[in-house]
Amino acid sequence: MSQLCINDPEQARAIYYSYSAETPSKLMENMPTILAKQYQLQTIHVLAVDGTPLPISVIGNGMPVLMLHAFGMDTRQFLPFILPLTNHYRFYLPHFRGFGLATALTLPNFDFIEQYAEDTEQVLKYITIENNAATVSVAGISMGALVMWAYFKRFGTNQFSRYLNIDQAPIIHNQPDFQGGVFGARQDELFAQFESLISNTKPYMQVEDFRHLPYEIKTGLLTMERAFSLLSVSRKSSELLIKTLSYRPPHKVALMTHSTWQHKLRCLSAYMQLPYDYREVLEMVNIPTTLLVGGRSKLYDSERQLELADRLPNAKVEILAKSGHAVPMDAPFGFYRALKGFLES
């Protein structure tokens, strides 16, 4: 359990006025408790169907909001965007198996998207009971949004009040009638590169320690991760940050650990082999839906994403014109405003 500090006077003022119905003396007496409840990041665990304890980061005080993270993302990276909203909302941030606090959790099924959808159902049951809430607001980015399309197909929309879909089509592989899958026109080229990487790495998948892999295998994996991250952004500043953070000289590559490399490759294999086409569910998603689109996304063509709105019964589109796929990184202020507007709608 970690404690977060308040250093923004406007946030402190907002907290004060949100409790202004109390007398000044009572307010000051309760302020430490109020602030601790709002700004304290907790970790809880919810049991999955197979009995696995799923870690969830929880913060805030108010209406429940479920947020699902992207591939390779630690769900706590949402924190800078949700902290100013924690006096009105209680955010539930699950860690999907293999990522973040769930790095040590293995996948019982090859179809990881369907596994995550099943896990999300258990998390949702907990949230609705704990908050005595009939419905919950939900936001999903990239892989997390694909999980929501899978969830809607399997469990429906009855337990949600609204949905924020962040730069994700309900399909991975391009089809003759829809070329809006991942990477668009470059899909065949990039999938071939991923297939080669998977093939080269397959003989070493039982090697637990990343340090014991052949050097060329390690550099191939790291190069793939770096290239994927660079494809996810459009701004020069974001590209520079990724290049800086991902640079590792040979001696560091030789000694580094990498706890998620096997999990990422298994997920990548599933992306290659399974159809992941949830377009048929679009007409069923009748809750208010916001499609938040990166105007310069290299993963999901923005024009193709706009076509989805015509098939959703209750949808609106918001485009962040200068953002790539990684919206929070490329357009942090735009993402915050869009999230706030979505929750207040």
The tokens of 171 are what?
A: 């399909």
Give the distance from CA 270 to its chain's centroid.
18
Strands (DSSP E) found in 69-213: 89-94, 136-141, 160-166
pTM exceeds 0.85? yes
Q: How many CB atoms lie within 10 A of CB 128?
A: 15
Angstrom CA distances, 160 to 46, 113, 134, 152, stand at 19, 19, 8, 10
Strands (DSSP E) found in the chain: 2-3, 40-47, 53-60, 63-68, 89-94, 136-141, 160-166, 289-294, 315-320
Mean pLDDT of the chain: 91
pLDDT of residue 196: 97
With 70 as the cut, is the pLDDT of residue 11 above it?
no
Q: Are 187 and 174 in contact (CB under 8 A)?
A: yes
pLDDT digit string (tens) for 203-221?
A: 999 998 999 999 999 999 9
Average pLDDT on 15-19 reads: 36
The band of 178, judged by pLDDT with boundaries at 50, 70 and 90, is very high
Q: Which residue matches tokens 């590209």?
A: 239
CA atoms within 13 A on the CB side of 340: 14
Q: Of the candidates 172, 109, 175, 157, which has an alpha carbon nearest to the alpha carbon of residue 281?
A: 157
pLDDT of residue 30: 56
